[in-house]
Amino acid sequence: MCGIVGYVGPQPALDIIVEGLSRLEYRGYDSAGVAVLADGNLRTEKRAGKLQNLRDALAESPPPADGIGIGHTRWATHGAPTDVNAHPHVDNANRVAVIHNGIIENFARLRVELEERGSKFHSQTDTEIAAHLLSDELQSAGDGDLAAAMRRTCRQLEGAFTLVAVSTEDPDLVVAARRNSPLVVGRGQGENFIASDVAAFIAHTRDAIELGQDQVVELRRDSVRVTDYDGTQVEGNEYYVDWDASAAEKGGYKYFMLKEIMEQPRAVADTLLGRLGEDGTLSLDEMRLSPADLRDIHKIVIIAAGTSYHAGLIAKYAIEHWCRIPCDVDVASEFRYRDPILDPQTLVIAISQSGESMDTLMAMRHAREQRSKVLAICNVNGSTIPRESDAVVYTHAGPEVGVAATKTFLTQLVACYLVGLYLAQVRGLKYGDEIRTIIEQLAAMPDSVERLLDTMQPTRDLARSLADSETVLFLGRHVGYPVALEGALKLKELAYMHAEAFAAGELKHGPIALIEPGLPVVVVVPSEEGRGVLHDKIVSNIQEIRARGARTIVIAQADDESVRPYADDLIELPDVPTLLQPLVATVPLQIFACELALAKGNDVDQPRNLAKSVTVE
Ligand code: G6P
C-alpha cells in the first residue's frame, strides 16, 4: 500500500525514483507522482492510474533529470484516485512537496484551521494538510530548517503516517518522518535513498537502516541523521539486505505470481534450512523468550490477516495436536475490539508476510500492553512486527512481489509447524526422534511440491474451462477447511469471482441450498492418515453435492480410489501426512485461481483494489 521513494545523490534523480516506484508497484496503487527539486525550482507531476501514465506525462514535458526528488504510488483512502489527489502535494507557495503513507486522523480539524489562516486546498486528501502545515512551520520559524519544521508538524498529527518532504529552502535535503507506516533508508556511496521497502533501492545498495517509531531522518548525499520528534539524535537500526535485485525480477515468467508459485519448493527448503541441530534440537531465528517462559504458556492466540490468517488456522491444528495448548485464531482487525483475555502466560503469534499490516501490528501491540509475549512469523527482515516482538521466525521465502500471497503462505505453514515442534520440544512433550521424524517429513516437502507442480496442466485446463462460471464453492474438513478458505480467497483476489468456502460438515446446515446443476464445487479430501471417520464423512459430502448436480472437483491423494467414482474432475496429490497436507493441497488451488484469472485477462500481479502491504487499519 502506498509506495514511497526518495533520492539524494549525483545520479539522475528522476530515473532512480521512477525505477524505484516501478519496483514498488506490487504494493498496490491507483495513482503515481514525483517531485524533483533542481536549480531552486520544485516541479511535480502526478497521474491517476498506472505508472505508465506518469511516465507518458514526464516524457511529454520532462522535468530536470538531476537534483533530488521524491516519488509516490498512492492507494486511495481519503479522496478518489484522481490526478489532483495523487501525491506529492505542495503548499501554496510551491515551496515544499510532501508524500505520505497512512492516515492522518485529525486532518479535518487541521484543514479548517489552515483554511482560516489562508491556505488554499486543491485535493480531498488528508495528505495536503501536511504540505500546508509543514510550509507554515517552515515559514514561521524563518530558519530554513526543514527537519525541525517536520518534527513540529508531526507533533500536531494524529494517526499512522510516514511523510517525506523536499523544500526549495534546502535543496540538498530529503526529510522523512515515520509513525507506524514503514520506512527504510538505503545507504549508498555519496548518495542515499529512502523508501517504504528495500525493493525500491536494492539495485543500488543493500545497506539499510530501519527507522523506529516517531523518528525523523535527514538525508543528504554524504550523511544520514536520525532524530526523535524532540530533535535528539538517535541510532537507526542498521542491517544488510540479503535479497539481491535479481530475486525481485520476473526471471522469464510473464507474471511474478507464476514465478513465485514455481519457487515454492525452494522457499520451503530455505525456511527449513539449518533449523535442526546435530543433537536433534530445533532452533528458531530470534528467540528472546526463555524455555521457562515457554513452559509457562497456558494459551496461544494467533493473530493475522488475509492469507496469513489462513496459515494461522492451519497452525492451530498442528499446535494443539502436538503441544496440547489451547490455541485461538483471530482475524487481526477484530482482535483488540473484542476485549480479549490476555495475560503474561499467553503467547501471541503474529503472522505477517510483510511485517507491516497495520491490523496485525495494532493487535500485537494490544497484546504486549497486556504483558503477553509475542512471537512473529514474518518474511521481511527488520520490518515493524518482528522488531516489536519477543521472538521471530523468518520465513525465508525471498521477496514476494505478486500481491496475492503464494510462496509466503507455504513458508508460513512451515514456520508454524516449526513453532509447534519447538514448543513441544521445550515443554518436553515430544521425544527428539519424534521431532526429527516430522522434520524429515517436512524436508521431503520441497520434492513433493516440485513433483506436484509438474502435473498441473489438467488443473490449468480445468480452470480455463470455468472462466465463465459465476461462483465456485470450496469444501474441506480439518486442515482441509482452511485450505478451502485459501482457495476461495485466491479466486476472489485474482479472478474477481464470487467464491466461498465452507467446512464440509456445515454444508447440510445451510450452504447446501446453494448447490444447483453444474455449480463447480472444489473439495479438499484429507490424506491417507486421515482416512477413517474424517475421510469417509467428506466422501459422503461429495456424494451429497453430486446427487444435487454439482460439478465435483476433488483434490485427493493420488491413490485414493474411494473418491474416484464421485469426482467429475480429480486433482491428485502426493501422499503426505494429514497435518502437513496443506503444503501440497494449496498448490493446485493457487494455480487454479491464477489460470482462471489469466483466462479472464486479469493482471494477477496487481489485482484491482488490493494492496500487498496494508498499512492502514
Ligand atoms: C493484504 C494482502 C494479502 C495478505 C494480507 C496480510 O490484504 O493483499 O495477500 O495476505 O494483506 O498481509 P501480511 O503482510 O500481514 O501477511
- Is the confidence at residue 25, as pLDDT, over 90? no
Of 612, 616, 617, best ligand 1 pocket probe by most atoms within 8 Å of the beta carbon: 612
Q: Indicate whether 418 belongs to any domain.
A: yes
Point out the least confidently predicted range of 173-182, 191-200, 250-259, 418-427.
250-259
Distance CA 614, CA 350 (A): 15
How many whole angstroms from 600 Cα to the centroid of ligand 1? 23
Ligand 1 atom, smallest distance to 493 CA: 8
Has residue 548 been placed in a domain? yes
With both helix axes pointing from N to C terminus, report the angle between 445-453 and 264-272 in degrees, rounded to the nearest 10.
180
pLDDT at 530: 58
Angle among Cα 93, 98, 100 to the nearest 5 degrees reads 150
614 in a structural domain: no
pTM metric for this prediction: 0.80
E strand or H helix at 85: none
On whether both 311 and 190 belong to a single domain, the answer is no
Among 389, 412, 443, residue at a domain's last position: 443
We report the CATH number of the domain holding residue 321 as 3.40.50.10490
Q: Residue-wise over 271-308: b if at least 16 C-beta within 10 A, else e?
A: bbeebbeeeeebebbebebeeebbeebebbbbbbbbbb
Whether 140 and 86 share a structural domain: yes
Q: Do residues 428 and 469 share a domain?
A: no
Q: How does pLDDT run across 158-174, given as a tens digit for each residue?
A: 988 899 999 999 999 99
Does ligand 1 lie within 6 Å of residue 590's CB atom? no
Among residues of the chain, what percentage have pLDDT more than 70?
A: 98
Is residue 21 lining ligand 1, measured as CB closer than 6 Å?
no
Task: For residues 496-520, give the mean pLDDT.
Answer: 95
Tell me the catalytic residues. 2, 612
Query: Domain limits at 29?
Result: 3-248
For ligand 1, pick from 490, 613, 615, 617 the residue to mutate: most ligand atoms within 8 Å of CB.
613
Decide if pLDDT at 528 tops 70: no
Residue 401 Cα, ligand 1 centroid: separation in angstroms? 12
Say if residue 286 is in the same domain as residue 242.
Answer: no
pLDDT tens figures, 282-317? 888 777 888 899 999 999 999 999 999 999 999 999
How far is ligand 1, taken at its centre, from the CA of residue 237, in Å? 25
Which residue's CA lies nearest to atom 5 of ligand 1? 306
Encode pLDDT of 119-129 as tens digits. Answer: 999 999 999 99
pLDDT tens digit sequence for 441-453: 999 999 999 999 9
Q: Would you state the cell numbers that stand for residue 429, as one nine-digit string? A: 512433550
pLDDT, position 542 = 95
Average pLDDT over residues 349-377: 96
d(CA 17, CA 322): 49
Do residue 239 and residue 277 come from a single domain?
A: no
Nearest CA to ligand 1 atom 15: 352
Considering the domain architecture, whether residues 202 and 281 belong to the same structural domain is answered as no
Residue 568 has pLDDT above 80, yes or no: yes
422 and 522 inside one domain: no
Same domain, 170 and 50: yes
- Cβ–ligand 1 contact at 308 (below 6 Å): yes
In-domain check, residue 128: yes
Indicate if 280 and 414 belong to the same structural domain. Answer: yes
The per-residue b/e assignment along 332-361, b for 16 or more CB within 10 angstroms, e otherwise, is: bbebbeeebebeeebbbbbbbbbbbbbbbb
- pLDDT score, position 286: 74
Residue at 606 is within a domain: no
Give, using CA atoms, the residue closest to atom 3 of ligand 1.
Answer: 306
CA 261 to ligand 1 centroid distance, Å: 16
CATH of the domain at 220: 3.60.20.10
| pLDDT score at 502 | 97
Please indicate whether residue 354, judged by its CB atom, sits closer than 6 Å to ligand 1. Answer: yes
Ligand 1: does its nearest atom lie under 6 Å from the Cβ of 153?
no
The reply to whether 608 falls in a domain is: no
The secondary structure of residue 212, as a DSSP letter, is -
Q: Secondary structure of 123-177 in the HEC alphabet?
A: CCCCHHHHHHHHHHHHHHHCCCCHHHHHHHHHHHCCEEEEEEEEECCCCCCEEEE
Residue nearest ligand 1's atom 1 by CA: 612
The answer on 463 and 423 residing in a single domain is no
Task: Give me the number of domains the chain comprises.
Answer: 3
Q: Helices (H), strands (E): how many in the chain?
A: 19, 25
The percent of residues in the chain predicted with pLDDT above 90, rounded, is: 76
Q: Which of 248, 280, 299 is the last residue of a domain?
A: 248
CA of 612 to the centre of ligand 1 (A): 6
CA–CA distance from 141 to each of 68, 118, 146 (Å)?
24, 18, 10
CB 88 within 8 A of CB 135: no
Q: What is the pLDDT of residues 38-96, one digit of tens each?
A: 888 999 999 999 999 999 999 998 888 778 999 999 988 778 889 999 999 999 999 99
Residues 173 and 41 in one domain: yes
Q: Measured between alpha carbons, how far is 51 from 405 in angstroms, rounded to an integer?
A: 22
Average pLDDT, the chain: 92
CA of 550 to the centre of ligand 1 (A): 32
- What is the CB neighbour count within 10 angstroms for residue 227? 19
Residue with CA nearest ligand 1 atom 2:
612
Collapsed DSSP state (helix, strand, coil) of residue 118: coil
Question: Which of 387, 409, 443 represents a domain boundary (last residue)?
Answer: 443
Closest to 88 (Cα-Cα) out of 73, 77, 102: 73
Q: Is residue 609 part of a domain?
A: no
Residue 112 shares a structural domain with residue 236:
yes
